[in-house]
């Protein structure tokens, strides 16, 4: 099956990752954070919170129809904190207005937030503000203001040196000395600010402002090479919070663009970009495994999108390195660890989705006269799954069994070929509530049940919705029934 790892490869995946799951210490689990929002200045608004570093940019949560003068609260799960977020307002100035969007970028860490906001002016400090003791956003605003002043002075000196025509004069050399003195002073200021705010998430963003050395001799190509050589000088790849910032992606884009400036042909591009990846990954390799994995993910996406086969080839040893926590390996690790929580006696996660007939299915509110409910994760494109479903369907059609157990198959088929096979197969298995998770192995239901491979069976007590067993075979299933 294309959407996941088949059952035959399941034990192999576990054995490959068992060393990975034990020693790793990922992000500490923070408590949920509540954002209390006081709306003013508009008739009403929908309010959505979006994760700025997520790839899908889907709302984390949203509330509808908040009126002027009302207060509402949004809960942010500790599992996704700390991070950068966008608070989006789709507001109406009056009852008949068409909703108009506005956005406020914000940082959330471990502190409950209170925000007074006028959506029309949500980035104006006079109209929108946090409580006085708010830490993250106030600190970043203060840092950004001071950083802007210092960078402006450096920029003026830099422009002078780049455009001055008499590069051999004493005056020009004095300008270089002055610039270098200010550059070092600025970088020292960054170090001091980072140490001062080290308890805050936003301090992880300060390093992106580091100013590397610039050679004032040689042509443009030599200058670019020198910038590349010193690009990572101020970066601490041991800090896992780097991957929770959107600035890391922008910063790496600027790095790759330096190579792009030297790529005057396709052949040169296909030579330089693999070098860019190898250099950056080797730097990150000595840092935190999640930063190392993020770097490999970054270049994997770039090489794949641009068809750079030579780049994909240099990634092979990193993708096979168990210390490299790529996004896929992180998800597998999370699910392996999560499986340990789905034990007999624990409450089964809810399932809310439409069945094949378009009727809403909700596990928690499902009414059934059966003693058991069997959740079956499967794929019509998986031979092991089809074999099991055939056995299961024949067995469950027996009168004494049919009244005892309700079967709910959840398909993880997602490609056109898989869906056609699913539709054909389900037509032969009437009487079951057929569900299909459109996003396959990446779906919420597969994530909630920590499914890595198919088929997977979860046997529930129909009255309590508690897990009785996770049988691997028909024999194990029948022996689990009382």
Report pLDDT digits (tens) over 312-337. 999 999 988 989 999 878 777 777 77
Give me the pLDDT at residue 460, please: 96
CA dist., res. 461 & res. 332, Å (int)? 28
Domain(s) labelled CATH 3.40.30.10 in the chain stretch across 337-480
Give me the pLDDT at residue 57, please: 54
Give me the pLDDT at residue 270, please: 83
Dihedral angle sign, alpha carbons of residues 366, 370, 373, 378? negative
Give me the pLDDT at residue 58, please: 63
**Strand bridging mode 360-362 / 352-354:** antiparallel
CA dist., res. 244 & res. 297, Å (int)? 14
What is the spatial order of strands in the sheet that 44-51 belongs to?
A: 59-67, 44-51, 83-92, 100-108
**Residue written as tokens 């022996």?**
479
Q: Which residues contact 242 (CB under 8 A, 6 or more apart)?
A: 204, 207, 236, 248, 288, 291, 294
* Residue 309 burial class via C-beta count within 10 angstroms: exposed 0-12, middle 13-18, buried 19 and up: exposed
* Residue 13 burial class via C-beta count within 10 angstroms: exposed 0-12, middle 13-18, buried 19 and up: middle
The token pair that represents 247 in the structure block = 């600035």
337-480 CATH, one of 2.60.120.560, 3.40.30.10, 3.40.50.1110, 3.40.1350.10: 3.40.30.10
Give me the pLDDT at residue 113, please: 98
Give me the pLDDT at residue 26, please: 52
Domain 33-130 carries which CATH code?
Answer: 2.60.40.10
Domain(s) labelled CATH 2.60.40.10 in the chain stretch across 33-130
Give me the pLDDT at residue 28, please: 61
Q: Indicate the angle between helix axes 327-339 and 289-306, nearest 10 degrees.
A: 130
Are 366 and 355 in contact by the 8 Å Cβ rule? The answer is no
Give me the pLDDT at residue 54, please: 55
Residues of the chain short of pLDDT 70, as ranges, are 1-29, 54-58
367-400, pLDDT tens digit by residue? 999 999 999 999 998 888 999 999 999 999 999 9
């Amino acid at each position: 099956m294309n959407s996941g790892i088949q059952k035959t490869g399941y034990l192999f995946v576990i054995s490959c990752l068992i060393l990975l799951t034990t020693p790793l210490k990922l992000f500490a689990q923070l408590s949920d954070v509540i954002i209390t929002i006081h709306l003013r200045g508009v008739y009403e608004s929908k309010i959505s919170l979006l994760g700025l570093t997520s790839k899908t940019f889907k709302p984390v949560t949203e509330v509808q129809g908040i009126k002027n003068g009302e207060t509402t609260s949004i809960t942010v799960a500790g599992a996704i904190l700390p991070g950068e977020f966008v608070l989006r307002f789709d507001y109406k100035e009056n009852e008949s207005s068409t909703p108009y969007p506005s956005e406020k970028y914000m940082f959330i860490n471990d502190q409950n937030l209170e925000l007074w906001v006028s959506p029309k002016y949500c980035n104006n400090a006079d109209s929108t503000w946090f409580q006085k003791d708010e830490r993250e956003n106030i600190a970043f605003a203060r840092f950004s203001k001071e950083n802007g002043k210092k960078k402006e002075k450096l920029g003026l000196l830099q422009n002078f040196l780049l455009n001055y025509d008499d590069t051999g004069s004493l005056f020009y050399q004095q300008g270089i000395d002055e610039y270098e003195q200010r550059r070092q002073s600025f970088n020292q200021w960054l170090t001091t600010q980072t140490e001062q705010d080290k308890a805050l998430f936003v301090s992880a963003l300060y390093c992106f402002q580091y100013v590397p050395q610039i050679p004032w001799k040689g042509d443009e190509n030599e200058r670019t090479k020198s910038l590349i050589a010193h690009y990572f000088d101020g970066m601490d790849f041991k800090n896992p919070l780097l991957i929770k910032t959107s600035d890391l992606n922008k910063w790496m884009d600027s790095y790759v663009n330096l190579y792009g400036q030297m790529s005057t042909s396709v052949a040169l591009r296909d030579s330089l970009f693999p070098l860019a990846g190898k250099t950056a990954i080797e730097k990150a390799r000595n840092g935190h495994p999640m930063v190392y994995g993020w770097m490999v993910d970054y270049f994997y996406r770039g090489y794949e999108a641009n068809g750079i086969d030579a780049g994909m080839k240099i990634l092979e040893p990193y993708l096979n390195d168990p210390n490299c926590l790529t996004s896929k390996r992180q998800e597998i690790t999370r699910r392996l660890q999560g499986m340990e929580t789905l034990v007999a006696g624990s409450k089964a996660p809810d399932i809310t989705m439409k069945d094949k007939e378009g009727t809403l299915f909700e596990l928690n509110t499902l009414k059934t006269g059966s003693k058991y409910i069997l959740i079956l994760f499967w794929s019509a494109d998986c031979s092991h799954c089809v074999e099991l479903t055939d056995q299961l369907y024949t067995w469950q059609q027996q009168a004494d069994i049919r009244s005892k157990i309700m079967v709910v198959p959840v398909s993880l088929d997602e490609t056109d070929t898989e869906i056609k096979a699913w539709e054909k197969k389900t037509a032969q298995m009437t009487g079951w509530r057929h569900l299909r998770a459109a996003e396959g192995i990446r779906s919420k239901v597969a994530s909630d049940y920590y499914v890595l491979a198919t088929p997977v069976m979860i046997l529930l007590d129909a009255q309590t919705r508690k897990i009785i067993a996770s049988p691997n075979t028909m024999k194990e299933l029948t022996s689990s029934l009382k």
